[in-house]
């Protein structure tokens, strides 16, 4: 068995960062290629949704395991004030892997590395898994793995589709188009002032992002508030960072 893992939404100033994990036999790579699985950035949103739907339907027949883990803005901000975004992604990858870990096999891991040091990222993920008695057969951690490995590409599609759906749901709930969250996105730029009118930035925003801070400074005289562990309600986490 092979587990591919990737993330979507690292850069935007709003919405969750999403980690996708996809577990299937290694030999099913040919089926994934026939489905048109490739790096999610190379697919249109419509095509991504189509492929994600096919992954789900065929996966139900073949016993594929897949999941997405949503890391909300408050958890991102707290991570930035503490162990850092790279460690948060290590946590997210480990959490997603644990969900899809097969009960009858020892899988290999293929990770799209989220650290400039590819080997370090893989080592941190596998070390975190070992604390919970999950020992992979091998770990490959490389940049651009979503462009070369079908299992990682499938995870990329799952993550991006879930991220888009989450932002669409937030837009519908607020009655405001939020766009992609990137500073160059006209919809995001138009939405930011309304999300910063209160005494605190809206909860959909990543308060620690430079984009959010710049927009805040154009409306408020004081510094932007900080999210802290004591002042923020965080979702329950399966894995915790080391105490040291």
Compute the average pLDDT of residues 23-42: 90
Domain map of the chain by residue range? 2-168, 175-217
Q: Given this chain, do its domains 2-168 and 175-217 carry the same CATH topology?
A: no
Output the pLDDT for position 39. 73
Q: How far apart are CA 78 and CA 85, in angstroms?
A: 9
On whether the 175-217 domain is CATH 1.10.1060.10, my answer is: no
Q: In whole angstroms, give the CA distance from residue 3 to residue 155.
A: 9
Question: 2-168: CATH homologous superfamily?
Answer: Ribonuclease H-like superfamily/Ribonuclease H (3.30.420.10)
* pLDDT confidence of residue 230: 66
pLDDT digits (tens, 9 = 90+) for 43-81: 888 889 999 999 999 999 999 999 999 999 999 999 998
Measured distance CA(117)–CA(1) in Å, rounded = 26
């Amino acid at each position: 068995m092979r587990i591919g893992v990737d993330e979507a939404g690292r850069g935007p100033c709003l919405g969750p960062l999403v980690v996708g994990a996809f577990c299937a036999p290694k030999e099913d790579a040919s089926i994934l290629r026939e489905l048109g699985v490739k790096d999610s950035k190379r697919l249109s949103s419509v095509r991504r949704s189509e492929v994600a739907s096919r992954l789900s339907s065929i996966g139900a027949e073949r016993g594929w395991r897949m999941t997405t883990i949503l890391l909300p803005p408050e958890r991102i901000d707290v991570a930035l004030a503490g162990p850092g975004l790279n460690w948060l992604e290590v946590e997210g990858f480990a959490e997603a892997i644990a969900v899809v870990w097969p009960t009858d096999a020892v899988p290999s891991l293929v990770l799209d590395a989220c650290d400039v040091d590819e080997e370090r990222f893989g080592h941190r993920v596998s070390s975190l898994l070992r604390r919970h008695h999950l020992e992979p057969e091998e770990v490959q951690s490389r940049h651009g793995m979503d462009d070369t490995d079908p299992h990682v590409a499938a995870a990329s599609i799952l993550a991006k589709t879930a991220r888009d759906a989450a932002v669409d749901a937030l837009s519908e709930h607020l009655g405001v188009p939020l766009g992609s969250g990137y500073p160059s996105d006209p919809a995001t730029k138009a939405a930011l002032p309304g999300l910063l009118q209160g005494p605190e930035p809206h909860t959909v925003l990543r308060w620690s992002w430079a984009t959010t801070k710049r927009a805040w400074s154009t409306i408020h005289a004081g510094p932007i508030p900080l999210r802290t562990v004591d002042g923020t309600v965080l979702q329950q986490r399966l894995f915790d960072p080391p105490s040291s």
